[in-house]
Amino acid sequence: MARLEWELIEAGHCVHPQRAVRQGASWHRCEFPALVALLRHPQRGLILFDTGYSDAFLQATARFPERLYRWVTPVHLGPGQSVRAQLQQRGIGAADIGLVVLSHLHGDHVGGVLDFPDVPLLCSRAAWQDQAARGRLRALSVGLLPALTRDAAPRMGWLESVPEVDLPRPFDAFGRGRDVLGDRSLLAVPLPGHAVGQHGLLFEGADGRPVFLVADAAWSSAAITDGVPPPRLVTALLGHTGTYRQTLQRLQQTQRQVSDLQLVPAHCGQWRPAATL
pLDDT value at position 275? 62
pLDDT band of 22, cuts 50, 70, 90: very high
What mean pLDDT comes out for the span 145-154? 94
Q: What is the pLDDT of residue 41?
A: 98
pLDDT given for residue 62 in this prediction: 97
**Nearest one of 266, 106, 102 to 195, comparing CA atoms:** 106
Give the pLDDT band (50/70/90) at residue 158.
very high
- Helix (H) / strand (E) element for 12: namely strand 5-17
CB 171 within 8 A of CB 165: no
Q: What is the mean pLDDT of the chain?
A: 96
- Look at residue 277 in the predicted model and tell me its pLDDT: 42
Instruction: Give pLDDT tens digits for 72-127.
Output: 999 999 999 999 999 999 999 999 999 999 999 999 999 999 999 999 999 999 99
200 CB-contact burial (10 Å; exposed 0-12 / middle 13-18 / buried 19+):
buried
Nearest to 32 by CA among 254, 230, 212: 230
HEC per residue, 63-114: CCCCHHHHHHCCEECCCCCCHHHHHHHCCCCHHHEEEEECCCCEHHHHCCHH
pLDDT (mean) for 216-243: 96
- What's residue 233's pLDDT? 93
Strand order in the sheet with 121-123: 75-76, 5-17, 29-41, 45-49, 97-101, 121-123, 156-158
